[in-house]
Chains A and B, each alone.
Chain A
Amino acid sequence: MTVTLEPSLGDVHAVVEEVWSSFLGAEEPILPLATPMPPGGWSAAITVSGGWDAQITVNLTDGAAQAVTSTMLMCPVEDCADEDLRDALGELVNMVGGNVKSLMAGSAVLSLPLVGHGDISPGSHLVEVCRLELTWRGEPVVVTVHQPPTADPS
């Protein structure tokens, strides 16, 4: 029997692609292409607790965050307030986190999302186990999964 201790990069990528294509338009796919992330921007994080403990975080530039919000709410970028960005990015990380959680064994619970300008630090007991550096509409998008360190099976 195989016990999966952490999500694979490919599985997390598939989840992110599905969320993006469902809500942000399949005609503008999120690409597996690293683009330098400038300082600042927005972060949205959600924690999973129970059979699997983790934090899933999505980092976006201001431009990407505004484009996500504008597309999901179908309103012009200039009409998107910070409150709208928080809501849209919260829903985005909720979908990414919920579907990554479903990849893991055991029953677990999702928190409500936390969204803010700048970085959201994972708990000090967590280590990065998965990092996706992506590009959407020419802007960098980074998705990370942090979880407690697992014992080395070797």
Chain B
Amino acid sequence: MHALIIDDSKTMRSILRRIVTELGFETTEAGNGQEALDVLEAGLVPDICLIDWNMPLMDGYTFVTRVRADDRWRNVTLMMVTTESEHGQIVRALAAGAHEYVIKPFTPDAIIEKMELLGLVAQEVPA
């Protein structure tokens, strides 16, 4: 399984990388939407993209619309991970094709729970 982490903050990429690596994912990182598109164009087809909204050059929303407009990446799961918490923006991102939406700050469990819901991680069965 492979996760593409897209955030202009190295710190946030590092935090997300630690969480998904613990879940067994390999990771690739990009500092903005354009860099991430370049990674996809170069041939990487990740299982999931974790996408910040507010980034220079290309924001996360534009990245989502570009990915969803291209059939090569129809199976890639898109999860917004952002401080953008206005209801209208959340609806806009989901309508554009994002599958899930996590608002910063988050706990590792919040990310894991969403990935379980998306079927990317086996759900823990209570003992």
Contacts and interface: CB of A to CB of B under 8 A. Distances in A.
A87 interface: yes
Interface of A is mostly: helix
Interface string A89-103: 011001101110110
Interface residues of A, number: 24
B86 A95 contact: no
A19 B54 CA distance: 18
A110 B8 CA distance: 14
Interface in B1-19: 8-12, 14-15, 18
Contacts of A110: 54, 83-84
Contacts of A19: 105
B62 interface: no
A48 B11 CA distance: 22
A4 interface: no
List of 7 A-B pairs having minimum Cβ-Cβ separation, nearest first: A98-B83, A22-B105, A102-B85, A91-B9, A88-B11, A19-B105, A91-B11
